[in-house]
Amino acid sequence: MTDRSIHPRHLRWQAAAWMTLALAALPAAAKPPILNNTVQEQEVLAAQQAWGEALVAISKTYETQGREAAKTLAGKVIDGAYGYQMGPVLFKPTLTTAPQTFRTTREGALAYFVGGDKAYPNDTGFALKGWQKVEVTNVGMVIAANTATTMGNVTFTDREGKRTTVDKTWQFLKDDSGKLRIVVHHSSLPYAAP
Amino acid sequence: MTDRSIHPRHLRWQAAAWMTLALAALPAAAKPPILNNTVQEQEVLAAQQAWGEALVAISKTYETQGREAAKTLAGKVIDGAYGYQMGPVLFKPTLTTAPQTFRTTREGALAYFVGGDKAYPNDTGFALKGWQKVEVTNVGMVIAANTATTMGNVTFTDREGKRTTVDKTWQFLKDDSGKLRIVVHHSSLPYAAP
Amino acid sequence: MTDRSIHPRHLRWQAAAWMTLALAALPAAAKPPILNNTVQEQEVLAAQQAWGEALVAISKTYETQGREAAKTLAGKVIDGAYGYQMGPVLFKPTLTTAPQTFRTTREGALAYFVGGDKAYPNDTGFALKGWQKVEVTNVGMVIAANTATTMGNVTFTDREGKRTTVDKTWQFLKDDSGKLRIVVHHSSLPYAAP
Amino acid sequence: MTDRSIHPRHLRWQAAAWMTLALAALPAAAKPPILNNTVQEQEVLAAQQAWGEALVAISKTYETQGREAAKTLAGKVIDGAYGYQMGPVLFKPTLTTAPQTFRTTREGALAYFVGGDKAYPNDTGFALKGWQKVEVTNVGMVIAANTATTMGNVTFTDREGKRTTVDKTWQFLKDDSGKLRIVVHHSSLPYAAP
């Protein structure tokens, strides 16, 4: 495959090839090229971490450069991490209420993260709340086909060191470029017994 | 394929074949057998309805035959509708609290539905609350490979006609027999603004 | 979803929605948007027919406009119908021989279809042989996830009306745009008993 | 998950967990259970090797115990390695001819491997030809969801040391128990230029 070095995707297999090579202990000569659109656990863990880092980055951008800069970054984060360009995203944010509980469009997601959208009057901008740290703890994972779903807790720490923990489910779908995109995101505050 | 009539799976393709036949307008003679493990929307809607009917059935069984009968039925429902035999199920019920929020095992699911399990002291039996009706409203669906995920509202009506609405995400995985099994279930009460 | 009309993908779901609507007989109001990356049988049949029509088109272009025009068209057909941009394509053409039997790169596929590539001295250009008609007969289909595999006979008719039948296996993978791309193609002449 | 030790599937994740653990370098405490129905390259390589060993075993059984014992073993091999119980298998053996080229049923596959079936008069029993060794060389692999397809050469060595090489495509589908089953098998002799 003399062209393997000229396509990014080929480099990606190459990397995958060497990892599995270590496990399969095959002679390099016997190593065939692989087209693999399945999801690996490590990709999921990396996508979760990237989501948390992006949220912190939006908070810091808001503090240092203001709402417009934060909104611009939030738009880039949504376009890079979610799958709105692939179809509807099943997004139930932590703090939304009926009749705007579900945000299946990019506009609804952007309004939730940075607020300031007259169409979503109750959104105050979740990503603007001074988040300093995001920690993800998974209780399990379901990997099926080119998709993976995680469930667990996500804990957000703000400037005062106050920690907020939510119950969160994410489903990621791998796109043609090999990138995982969030297509389902259900977040909720823990149930408080009366 | 003289054996097509003797295997249930073959009958299933046959049915699917005729449905698509209507769309594709192919001569019946050109109809090849199909092995299809992907999920169809109608199967998902049917599985959601079956879940609701099963919950109502457990409530009625509890009223008419008591807890043991209800527990026996709940066990059958879990074994038939969830995927615990396939692996961990990512189940976050509506009313659970830390450190027992997530119920990734069959035991944890059964305790939530019918209570009475010392290992889960806070479980009072969600399925025993006299549910008369369950309504599902989807805001969207993601079908990927042999799995489908839905998000939306589910409204439960009790004996007094009191309606409780939750935000719910379900992911179904199709097993070898063609049955959809719940592998992810995240349910939460609507966020109440302070 | 006020933006449903502005994205092609949304139109595609819309279409899919109406088809399934006819089957599920749901009220239109209950129709949620769907992201579906699974393959439907009709898409496979259409992709097979398109492959045959493209082969005939290359033959006719060669007759009327010469090799360069045929080569340009063949390149477009390969880029449109195969998945070389997604990774290696497992392509075993009918008439290739060792050590160049398998054509896992775009260059190898183009050489097979139009010849004239010094790197593939035995290729005479399969698509240039005056094909007038291509008929596909499937003996079965396997649809799994975002991929479908077919097996059967393909019969090519040339200018003199001579018919050549091969045994052929195709695997199609659906890309992000919803297009089926050939990722596996094994073609062979029928076995001739000694 | 105190029940992880009592279900075979759990042990399977455990193993998978430790492998990925080595790659992801996660603390064992953070290791969530995983339900994963995707295919790994090593599973495919193992399934190919098992197919070759089974063919040799049938040949040796025929030599030492006769046709009936070989037929019994061949039936077990087909039931264990192919997916006929899941639906039609797209099987085009090396030496079959029209109108019995394709063997989409178990009966047709068994007849090909051991012959002696009046319904398939041209079958002489491919697995009875004294095979001593089977070598598989892949030119590439496509892994999509719970399925994987390979293409390459398979070389069979008989008692006299005569080697026969065929061009072969296999598609494997993972069943609920985690076992890979052949659902597509296209084998052909190399093209011989006139």
Q: Give tens-digit pLDDT for A117-137.
A: 999 999 999 999 999 999 999
- Top pLDDT among A143 and D4 is at A143
Query: Looking at the predicted structure, is the pLDDT value of residue C103 above 60?
Result: yes
Q: What pLDDT is stored for residue B31 in this prediction?
A: 74
- Chain segment D21-72, per-residue pLDDT in tens: 223 333 344 577 888 889 999 999 999 999 999 999 999 999 999 999 999 9
**Neighbouring chains to A with at least 3 Cβ pairs closer than 8 Å:** B, C, D
Q: What pLDDT, on the 0 to 100 scale, is given for residue B18?
A: 28
Provide the pLDDT for residue C4: 27
Dihedral of the CA atoms B108, B109, B115, B117 (nearest 10)? -30
The mean per-residue pLDDT over the stretch B55-69 comes to 98
3-state secondary structure labels for all residues of D57-84: HHHHHHHHHCHHHHHHHHHHHHHHHECC
Res A107 pLDDT > 90: yes
Distance from CA of D133 to the nearest CA of C (A): 21
**Residue B163 one-letter amino acid:** R
Average pLDDT over every residue of A152-173:
97
ipTM above 0.90, yes or no: no
> Which residues share a beta bridge with C158?
none
Question: Mind giving me the DSSP string for D95-137?
Answer: T--TTS----SHHHHHHHHH---TTSTT---GGGS---EEEEE
Check whether C191 has a pLDDT greater than 50.
Answer: yes
- The Cβ-side half-sphere exposure at B156, using a 13 Å CA radius, reads 22
Mean pLDDT of A174-187: 95
pLDDT > 90 fraction of chain C, expressed in percent and rounded: 75
Query: Sorting pLDDT into bands at 50, 70 and 90, what band is B32?
Result: confident
Q: How far apart are CA A113 and CA A136, in angstroms?
A: 19
* Predicted local distance difference test score (pLDDT) of residue A20: 34
pLDDT surpassing 70 at residue D127: yes
Does D141 contact A34 at a Cβ distance shorter than 8 Å?
A: yes
- In the predicted model, is pLDDT for residue C157 greater than 80? yes
Judge whether C121 and C139 are in contact, CB under 8 Å: no
**pLDDT of amino acid B62:** 98
Lowest mean pLDDT among A33-42, A115-124, B115-124, B128-137: A33-42
Which amino acid belongs to residue C179? K
A71: three-class secondary structure by DSSP: helix
- DSSP structure string for chain B: -GGGGTSHHHHHHHHHHHHHHHHHT--GGG---EEE----HHHHHHHHHHHHHHHHHHHHHHHHH-HHHHHHHHHHHHHHHB-TTTS--EEE-TT--TTS----SHHHHHHHHH---TTSTT---GGGS---EEEEEEEEEEEETTEEEEEEEEEEE-TT--EEEEEEEEEEEE-TTS-EEEEEEEEEPPP---
Q: Are B190 and B178 in contact (CB under 8 A)?
A: no
Does D83 contact B35 at a Cβ distance shorter than 8 Å? yes
What mean pLDDT is predicted for residues B132-137?
Answer: 98
Which pLDDT band holds residue C112 (cuts at 50, 70, 90)?
A: very high
Residue A3 has pLDDT above 70, yes or no: no
Q: Which amino acid is at B5?
A: S
Best mutation target among A37, A173, A183, A185 (most C Cβ atoms within 10 Å) is A37
Tell me what pLDDT residue A30 has: 53
From CA A14, how far away is CA C29, in angstroms rounded? Answer: 48
- Sign of the C-alpha dihedral computed for residues D57, D37, D34 and A182 taken in this order: positive
Sheet holding A147-157, edge to edge: A90-92, A180-188, A163-174, A147-157, A133-144, D34-36
The tokens for D48 are 């190919």
Q: Provide the token pair at A60.
A: 């810091």
Identify the pLDDT of residue A118.
97
Q: Round the average pLDDT of chain B to a whole number and report it.
A: 86
For B8, residues 6+ apart whose C-beta sits below 8 A from its C-beta are none
Structure tokens given for A57: 């980055």
Average pLDDT, chain D: 86
Question: Roughly what angle, to the nearest 10 degrees, separates helices A106-114 and A67-81?
Answer: 140
Q: What distance in Å separates the CA atoms of residue D135 and residue D153, rounded to the nearest whole number? A: 8
What residue has token string 């119908």?
Answer: C81
Q: What is the pTM of this model?
A: 0.84
Rounded to whole angstroms, how far apart are CA atoms C74 and C56? 11
Look at residue C23 in the predicted model and tell me its pLDDT: 31
Report the pLDDT value the prediction gives residue A31, as an integer from 0 to 100. 75
Q: pLDDT value at position C172? A: 97
Distance, CA of C111 to CA of A98 (rounded, Å): 60
pLDDT at residue number B5: 25
Lowest pLDDT segment from A72-81, B116-125, D23-32, D53-62: D23-32
Least trusted range by pLDDT, from B24-33, C41-50, C64-73, D166-175: B24-33
A29 pLDDT exceeds 80?
A: no
Between CA B101 and CA D150 the distance in angstroms is: 43
Best A3, A35, A78, A89 member to test C by mutation, with max C CBs in 10 Å, is A35
Q: Which residues from A are below 8 Å from B when comparing CB atoms?
A: 87-90, 92, 94-98, 101-102, 104, 122, 139-142, 144-147, 149-153, 167, 169, 171, 173, 183-184, 186, 188-193
Asked if residue B92 has pLDDT above 60, the reply is yes
Contacts of residue B7 in chain D, CB cutoff 8 Å?
Answer: 85
Confidence band of C173 (pLDDT split at 50, 70, 90): very high
Task: Classify A175 as helix, strand or coil.
Answer: coil
What value does the mean pLDDT of chain C take?
86
